[in-house]
């Protein structure tokens, strides 16, 4: 496994739609392992492939708080089949939007179909934090970021600050 650099907003790749995968092989599993390591070391609880610059419909998630008992979830080509009318709010952050958090309301329950790490078709019913996390990550596959749910003023302010931070980093990394 190897850790990959995370793409930070603003970056045009984060606005692109990711492509579905046709087959699950060792090469793909290696990529999923790299994504998982990148997510754990960030640290974060979810990561989409586009966040390491790969436009494929791949997500890794681990919402378990216990470092000893990791419970990674790999989602390949996830497709939401149901979203509840009832909503839940969580303070969301994103590895591609470092340092910013906002309360976002999303359907509190979602059902989905996906392909797992071994290429098997699976379905899942998620609620609570897992439901929010899955929907946040699937948004990434469609070029959507959590700041898109904020007012234009708030969103523009965050993007402006991230742009400034990036410029500062460029100065340091010569």
- Among 1-9, 35-43, 87-95, 114-122, which window interacts with Ni ion (CB under 5 A)? 87-95
Binding piece for Ni ion, criterion CB under 5 A, among 11-19, 55-63, 90-98, 158-166:
90-98
8-state DSSP, 8? -
CB atoms within 10 A of CB 49: 25
**Would you give the distance in Å from CA 118 to the centre of its chain?**
21
Q: Is 58 in the site for Ni ion (CB under 5 A)?
A: no
Q: Give, in order, the Cα–Cα distances in Å from 31 to each of 41, 43, 54, 67, 135.
A: 15, 18, 10, 22, 21
Distance of closest approach, residue 140 Cβ to Ni ion, in angstroms:
6
> 2, 8, 66: which is closest to 32 by C-alpha?
2
Cβ nearer to Ni ion, comparing 32 with 94: 94
Which span sits near Ni ion by CB under 5 A: 21-29, 55-63, 88-96, 147-155? 88-96
Report CA-CA distances (Å) from 57 to 41, 103, 112, 173: 21, 25, 14, 31
Q: Does 68 qualify as catalytic in the annotation? A: no
User: Under rule CB under 5 A, how many of the chain's residues touch Ni ion?
Assistant: 1
**Of the residues 58, 76, 94, 147, which one makes contact with Ni ion according to CB under 5 A:** 94
Distance CA 93, CA 73 (A): 19
Quick one: 94 or 130, whose CB is closer to Ni ion? 94
Minimum distance from CB of 126 to Ni ion (Å)?
16
Residue ranges that bind Ni ion, judged by CB under 5 A: 94
Residues designated as active site: 137
């Amino acid at each position: 496994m190897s850790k990959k650099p995370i793409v930070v907003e603003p970056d045009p790749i984060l606005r692109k739609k990711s492509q579905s995968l046709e087959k699950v092989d060792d090469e793909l599993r290696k990529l999923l392992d790299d994504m998982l390591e990148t997510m754990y070391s960030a640290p974060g609880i979810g990561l989409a492939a586009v966040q390491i610059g790969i436009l494929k419909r791949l997500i890794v998630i681990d919402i378990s708080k216990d470092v000893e008992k990791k419970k990674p979830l790999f989602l390949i080509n996830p497709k939401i089949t149901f979203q509840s009318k009832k909503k839940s709010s969580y303070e969301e952050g994103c590895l591609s939007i470092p340092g910013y958090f906002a309360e976002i309301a999303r359907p509190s329950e979602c059902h989905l179909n996906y392909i797992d790490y071994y290429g098997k078709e699976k379905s899942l019913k998620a609620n609570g934090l897992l439901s929010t996390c899955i929907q946040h990550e699937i948004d990434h596959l469609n070029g959507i970021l959590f700041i898109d749910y904020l007012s234009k003023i708030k969103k523009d302010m965050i993007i402006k600050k991230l742009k400034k931070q990036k410029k500062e980093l460029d100065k340091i990394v010569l």
